[in-house]
């Protein structure tokens, strides 16, 4: 399936001591000189972005070989002990195309950056290298086999959709007949409302997405609501669609981009607990209460033996010289940040990550498979991975840049590699009841 096979063994040259005559040496030098000219002109006359996708060059530039383990040789104990969140981005020309391309039919038009005019391609040539171990190589067939007869659910905001689409394409890469993968209710993937469920027919598997930016209920106004209140976020009630998340095998939650003043209080949305609106509850407090609600729901509704539950950490945005609605941009970034001190970590989001990781610690156990999918640090470097001005066709000229979502293929593929590694570390396999 893979076009590039970075794992295949390199041809080994064995050099034996040879004795050359002067004439032979001259011939050799001439030959090598000619070869050098040939290669150099090749390099000069081909745009550099093309070069990176030419396997020939990944062969003569064997640096950063992807020496990850194959599925059969994974050492679960090493993986379990390894901190996957910490490491570095390594340039790797063989990375692009490993999982899928923009041709994947499950991609939002807004995530297909090259089709939307992005001409630099270097953002595709980076892989995440954890400090303490190698990421297991993503094996779509293996993931699909482990998930046979199962359900995988993503619930959260549109960045969760970004990750969902990435996983759909990564898995679809392991299926030869794409017509066997379809939306269960015939819904189109764009302009969706509520939720979508993609069935992998040959594996009796669904991979679903629920759009719930707060995960809790966003509800109508109670009677006698104070003036200026247009809606409420019920921090004490998990979203009613939660009833569909119980009998699943892998659940990936996320929130983040809506828990701020712009998308709540400034829009007239206040927080409600029990029967009354609490006009003084701030965002931090409200987010914590919603997490407590989420935690109770997990403990009451999920089966610790069966459900693998993830909460993905915050996905940082990279607006520079202004906010998203204020001329902020990211289109000049063509490679990841290399200087850690230049990362603009938003403290409120780091605080939210801390709350999430605490809650996960409270519920995880030998029996209960709960994971904090900590991708914030690795994602902070990737200021080059956003659609920026290459938004979906039909976007008006002068519209704000998109420095929140991610081009696909792109950074969320790495989140899913990390997700897969976590699952392998617990030897995930669908358990039928
Ligand atoms: C991928 O997984 C399948 C199914 O488990 C297995 O047969 C195959 O050898 C794996 N491939 C690699 C490269 O590990
Ligand atoms: C997430 O991972 C980064 C990098 O390892 C680490 O610095 C940070 O503390 C982690 N966040 C939480 C909340 O554990
Ligand atoms: C498909 O999976 C469901 C569980 O999600 C199971 O109940 C059903 O028997 C499976 N169907 C087949 C044909 O294996
Ligand atoms: C692909 O799958 C579809 C739907 O199941 C089926 O109708 C079609 O015959 C398959 N095509 C091939 C080449 O197997
Ligand atoms: C909401 O109701 C719960 C359970 O009835 C109670 O424990 C809690 O104190 C109430 N919260 C407020 C703010 O009234
Ligand atoms: C509103 O929430 C705050 C916490 O943010 C709490 O201290 C206060 O008691 C709540 N007020 C009511 C009326 O529940
Ligand atoms: C939010 O409210 C809590 C409890 O009322 C308080 O401890 C905290 O300092 C407040 N945070 C901010 C950022 O105002």
Give the distance (Å) from ligand 6 centre to CA of residue 23: 92
pLDDT for 408 equals 97
Ligand lying nearest the CA atom of residue 180: 4
Query: Which residues fall within 8 angstroms of residue 363, CB to CB, at 6 or more apart?
Result: 295, 298, 299, 370
Strand partners, 311: 253, 372
Which ligand 1 atom sits nearest the alpha carbon of residue 73?
Answer: 14
Task: Output the CA angle 314-319-321, nearest 5 degrees.
Answer: 145
pLDDT for 27 equals 57
Structure tokens given for 231: 């809606």
Residues annotated as catalytic are 158, 402, 405
Q: Is 347 in the pocket of ligand 4 (CB under 6 A)?
A: no
Query: Which residues fall within 8 angstroms of residue 55, CB to CB, at 6 or more apart?
Result: 3, 4, 94
Which ligand 2 atom sits nearest the alpha carbon of residue 356?
Answer: 13
pLDDT for 290 equals 95
What is the Cα–Cα distance from 87 to 418, expressed in whole angstroms? 12
What is the Cα–Cα distance from 421 to 375, expressed in whole angstroms? 13
Q: By the 8 A CB rule, do 95 and 127 touch?
A: yes
Measured by CA distance, the residue closest to atom 3 of ligand 5 is 274
What is the Cα–Cα distance from 334 to 123, expressed in whole angstroms? 6
Q: Is 273 in the pocket of ligand 5 (CB under 6 A)?
A: yes
Ligand lying nearest the CA atom of residue 72: 1
167 closest CA partner among 413, 359, 367, 335: 413
Ligand lying nearest the CA atom of residue 179: 4
Q: What is the pLDDT along the chain (433 residues), one digit of tens a residue?
A: 222 222 333 333 333 333 344 545 455 455 444 444 444 444 344 444 443 333 333 333 333 444 455 565 778 899 999 999 999 999 999 888 889 999 999 999 999 999 999 999 999 999 999 999 999 999 999 999 999 999 999 999 999 999 999 999 999 999 999 999 999 999 888 766 789 999 999 999 999 999 988 999 888 887 777 888 888 889 999 998 999 999 999 999 998 878 887 788 788 888 889 888 888 999 999 999 999 999 999 999 999 999 999 999 999 999 988 888 888 999 999 999 988 777 777 777 788 999 999 999 999 999 999 999 999 999 999 999 999 999 999 999 889 999 999 999 999 999 999 999 999 999 999 988 6
Strand partners, 156: 211
Mutate to test the pocket of ligand 7, among 270, 279, 282, 287 (most ligand atoms within 8 A of CB): 282
Measured by CA distance, the residue closest to atom 10 of ligand 2 is 374
pLDDT for 55 equals 35
What is the Cα–Cα distance from 379 to 383, expressed in whole angstroms? 8
């Amino acid at each position: 399936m893979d076009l590039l096979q970075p794992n295949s063994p390199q041809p080994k040259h064995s050099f034996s001591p040879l004795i050359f005559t002067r004439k032979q040496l001259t011939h050799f030098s001439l030959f090598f000189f000619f070869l050098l000219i040939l290669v150099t002109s090749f390099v000069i006359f081909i745009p550099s972005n093309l070069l990176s996708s030419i396997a020939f060059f990944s062969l003569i530039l064997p640096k950063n070989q992807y020496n990850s383990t194959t599925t059969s040789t994974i050492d679960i104990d090493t993986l379990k002990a390894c901190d996957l969140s910490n490491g570095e981005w390594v340039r790797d020309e063989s990375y692009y195309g490993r999982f899928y391309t923009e041709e994947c039919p499950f991609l939002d038009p807004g995530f297909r950056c090259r089709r939307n005019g992005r001409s630099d391609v270097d953002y595709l040539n980076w892989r995440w290298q954890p400090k303490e171990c190698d990421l297991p190589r993503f094996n779509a067939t293996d993931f699909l086999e482990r998930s046979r007869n199962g359900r995988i659910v993503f619930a959260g905001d549109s960045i969760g959709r970004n990750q969902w689409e990435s996983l759909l394409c990564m898995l679809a890469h392991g299926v030869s007949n794409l017509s066997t993968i379809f939306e269960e209710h015939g819904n189109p993937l764009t302009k969706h409302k509520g939720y979508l469920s993609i069935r992998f027919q040959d594996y009796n598997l669904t991979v679903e997405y629920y759009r719930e930016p707060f995960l809790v209920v966003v509800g109508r106004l109670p009677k006698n609501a104070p003036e200026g209140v247009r809606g409420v976020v019920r921090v004490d009630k998990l979203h009613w669609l939660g009833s569909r998340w119980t009998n699943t095998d892998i659940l990936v939650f996320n929130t983040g981009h809506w828990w701020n003043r712009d998308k709540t209080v400034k829009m007239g949305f206040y927080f409600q607990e029990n029967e009354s609106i609490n006009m003084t509850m701030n965002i931090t407090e409200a987010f914590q209460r919603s997490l407590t609600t989420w935690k109770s729901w997990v403990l009451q509704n999920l089966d610790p033996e069966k459900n693998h539950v993830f909460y993905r950490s915050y996905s940082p945005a990279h607006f520079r010289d202004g906010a998203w609605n204020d001329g902020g941009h990211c289109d000049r970034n063509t490679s990841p940040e290399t200087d850690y001190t230049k990362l603009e970590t938003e403290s409120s989001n780091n605080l939210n990550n801390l709350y999430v990781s605490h809650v996960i610690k409270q519920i995880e156990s030998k029996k209960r498979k709960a994971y904090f999918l900590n991708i914030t640090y690795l994602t902070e470097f990737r200021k080059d991975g956003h659609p920026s001005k290459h938004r979906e066709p039909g976007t008006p000229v002068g519209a704000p840049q998109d420095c929140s979502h991610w081009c696909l293929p792109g950074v969320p593929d790495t989140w899913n590699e990390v997700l897969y590694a976590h699952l392998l570390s617990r030897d995930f396999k669908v358990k039928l009841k």
